[in-house]
Amino acid sequence: VNENHNPSAPHSINLLLYHQVGDTPHANTNLDCFCRTEDFCSQMEFLSNSSYKVISLSKATELISSQKPIDADYVVLTFDDGCERFYDITFPVLESFGFPSAIYPVANYLGKRATWGNVRTRELRILSKNQLVELAGLQVEIGAHTMDHVKLTTVSEDDAIAQVLESKNILEQLTGREIRSFAYPHGAYTEETIDIVKEAGFSNALTCVSRAAGAAESMYEIPRKYITYYDDLNAFKQKLL
Ligand SMILES: [Zn+2]
């Protein structure tokens, strides 16, 4: 019995959305996109000792697409942008707990500093190609997150198609694996965006709509809950409910 599970609520899949995990945020870091290593470790430890089952993204999308009632409380760990610190800070923690994960690197920025968005994101370094290839051979699924982290709802249709399709192709060439999952940058999408992602050959897409996923989700609008700097262990537990 999961003591954290509200008995009146059905079981569900909590897909959690992280960006950067690190020891100290830079002065300009967007704290909504930062989780302290210490907090992250206690969150993982909590999951490990609870009856939540940490599963891979593939397993989760399989459960969702089966349309059967979800039979337990599941958690999926996802990391957007492909921050370099994932390699030396986040992954070793995940590995120590045996937890699978999914990362969504920005394909045009591998091995470079982020220059999208405002100055607050620019101290961020993105995983190198070699690091990404190494991670893809471990328990880390790779998904696409466009070439340049563009808000797909604000660019032309041609640009949106190129951003989505090229990121899939580049990551597939690099990793030798089929890239099946997409995460909308800034969580921005419309019906047209969904069509573009489907047409590109993705089998699912993740949003930033903050709630748990159930058995009847649209495969291209899978919700995720944001974990931030402000989430201490109690807040984290609350978010899972
Ligand atoms: Zn992003």
Query: 180: closest CA among 202, 148, 162, 164?
Result: 202
**CA 65 / ligand 1 centre spacing (Å):** 25
**CA 4 / ligand 1 centre spacing (Å):** 30
Residues with CB under 5 A from ligand 1 (ion): 80-81, 185
pLDDT tens readout for residues 89-128:
999 999 999 999 999 999 999 999 888 866 555 568 999 9
Token pair for 133: 């290839």
The owner of tokens 């069509």 is 195
pLDDT tens readout for residues 179-236:
999 999 999 999 999 999 999 999 999 999 999 999 889 999 999 999 999 999 999 9
Let me know: does 202 contact 138? Beta carbons within 8 Å: no
**CA 186 / ligand 1 centre spacing (Å):** 6
**CA 227 / ligand 1 centre spacing (Å):** 13
**CA 185 / ligand 1 centre spacing (Å):** 5
**CA 129 / ligand 1 centre spacing (Å):** 18
Determine the average pLDDT of the residues in 130-143: 96
What is the rounded average pLDDT for all residues in the chain?
93
Partners of 81 in the β-ladder: 105
pTM (2 d.p.) = 0.94
pLDDT tens readout for residues 17-29:
999 998 888 777 7
**CA 102 / ligand 1 centre spacing (Å):** 13
Residues 39 and 162: their CA atoms lie apart, in Å, by 38
Per-residue pLDDT band for 1 (boundaries 50, 70, 90) equals very low
Residues 154 and 213: their CA atoms lie apart, in Å, by 27
